[in-house]
Structure 1
Amino acid sequence: MDLQDQLKNLFPEHTFQESIAEEKPDIWLQDEPIICKYEKRKGKPITIIEGYTGATEDFKKLAKEIKTKLSVGGSFKDEKIIIQGDYRDTIMNILKEKGFNVKRVGG
């Protein structure tokens, strides 16, 4: 006997109505593509993601999600996500799965 059956036994006159919740996207999708580029700083490769026009908090969530999926370090500075290493292809696939339009720059 599940919880709903128990509630029906306790309150037989109550009618249960299921509420349909609207699914809101976690992240703001935009018209212009996000730029994913490769650079070397101090001889080490990094991947930079920039061009997001939504809220800063959403971009920070996206940065954290990318870093945890790739198990790499990185940071969020000046409206840019900086990921340690050359992960352009993987990051582009992650962003495309989320519905973003991504443009590859630099090589």
Structure 2
Amino acid sequence: MSRVVYSTDSGRMCPECEQPEAKCQCKAVEAVSLTDGVVRLRLDRKRKGAGVSQIEGLGIAGAELKKLAKELKAKCATGGAIKDGVVEIQGDHRERLKSLLEAKGYTVKLAGG
């Protein structure tokens, strides 16, 4: 049995789930299983402007994570992204995000940053 490791259409392929690396489901499952149940909020000021509020340890992946990120961005009236399972919200919205996530039942800790 031969496995595809590279495709001219998609680039590198994951050997486990045989999906393009960008859409790999194995990494998402691995990231979800590494959470300790505490969501950590941190402000990353390494970029220009007001920084980025980062949310780690949500324990969800895929479409569910995208849906939550979209909801949080809308409540904070700002943009953001998901990078390697970490939700990034533009600006310093840690206190607002903490209250929103606690209302959803998450245990939230403000981490240094």
- Does the alignment reach a TM-score above 0.5? yes
What is the rounded CA distance, in whole Å, between the counterparts of 1:98 and 1:78 in structure 2?
22
Uncovered stretches (5+) of structure 2, i.e. residues with no partner: 1-34
TM-score normalised to structure 2 length: 0.63
Conserved? CA contact 2:56–2:85, under 8 Å? yes
> In the alignment, what sits opposite 2:52?
46
- Is this contact kept in 1: 2:61–2:85, CA < 8 A? no
Shift of 1:31: 6.1
Q: 1:33 to 1:71 in 2, by over 3 A?
A: same
Using the TM superposition, give the Cα deviation of residue 54 of structure 1 relative to its aligned residue in structure 2, in angstroms: 2.4
Larger Rg, first or second structure (1 or 2): 1
1:83 is matched with which residue? Answer: 89
CA distance in structure 2 between the partners assigned to 1:102 and 1:63 by the alignment: 16
Among all aligned residue pairs of Structure 1 and Structure 2, give the percentage whose two residues are the same amino acid.
37
- The aligned counterpart of 2:75 is 69
Match of 2:109 among 80, 97, 103: 103
Compute the RMSD of aligned alpha carbons.
Answer: 1.7
* Contact 2:36–2:57 under 8 Å retained in 1: no
Secondary structure of 2:45 counterpart = strand
For residues 42 and 94 of structure 1, the distance between their equivalents in structure 2, rounded to whole angstroms, comes to: 25
Tell me which of the two structures has the higher relative contact order, counting C-alpha pairs closer than 8 angstroms and 6 or more residues apart: 1
Q: Give CA-to-partner distance per residue, 1:10-57, whole Å, 9 cap, x none.
A: xxxxxxxxxxxxxxxxxxxx8611111011132321100011222322
The unaligned stretches of length 5 or more in structure 1 are 1-29
Q: How many aligned positions are there? A: 78
